[in-house]
């Protein structure tokens, strides 16, 4: 945040801890998430689309992608599926799912009306702001 309490993407105004994310792009995050699996890609898309500025979701997405190093692609993608099912959209939630082995348990049953619709043609929340 800058001194006037608004978000900024000017590197000189960013904290040094935030500058390391400046080289990342939405396309790179989406590509890396898709390499892990479809649910991970969908979760990162949801995180990026829910923010007024997609850059605000970079840290969460990068953290989620980094979890593949510790837990592997298969488990991370299963955890992303569960996170989508329960409406979790944070790194901490996905890490908790993995740490508690919830990705290895069946998801609670949902009705067809409650299932999220994942399709590249759906605009998401950002379209209506």
To 10 degrees, what angle do helices 58-71 and 26-36 make?
Answer: 30
Question: What pLDDT is attached to residue 34?
Answer: 95
- State the average pLDDT over residues 51-64: 88
The pTM assigned to this predicted structure is: 0.69
**Structure confidence by residue, pLDDT tens digits, 75-93:** 999 999 999 999 999 999 9
* Long-range CB contact pairs, 80-89, < 8 A, 24+: 80/36, 80/37, 80/39, 80/40, 80/42, 80/43, 81/39, 81/107, 82/107, 83/43, 84/39, 84/42, 84/43, 84/46, 84/116, 84/118, 85/110, 85/116, 89/43, 89/46, 89/47, 89/50, 89/60
Q: Is the pLDDT of residue 24 over 90?
A: no
Q: What pLDDT was estimated at residue 71?
A: 96
Q: Which tokens in the block code for residue 45?
A: 């898309």
Domain positions in the chain: 25-107
């Amino acid at each position: 945040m800058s001194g006037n309490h608004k978000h900024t993407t000017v590197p000189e105004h960013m904290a040094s801890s935030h500058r390391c994310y400046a080289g990342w792009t939405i396309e790179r995050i989406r590509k890396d998430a898709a390499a892990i699996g479809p649910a991970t890609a969908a979760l990162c898309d949801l995180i990026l689309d829910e923010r007024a500025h997609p850059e605000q979701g970079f840290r969460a997405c990068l953290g989620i992608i980094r979890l593949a190093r510790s837990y592997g692609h298969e488990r991370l993608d299963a955890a992303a599926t569960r996170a989508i099912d329960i409406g979790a959209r944070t790194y901490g939630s996905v890490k908790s799912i993995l740490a508690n082995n919830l990705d290895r348990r069946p998801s609670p049953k949902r009705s067809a009306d409650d299932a999220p619709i994942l399709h590249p043609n759906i605009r998401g929340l950002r379209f209506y702001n």
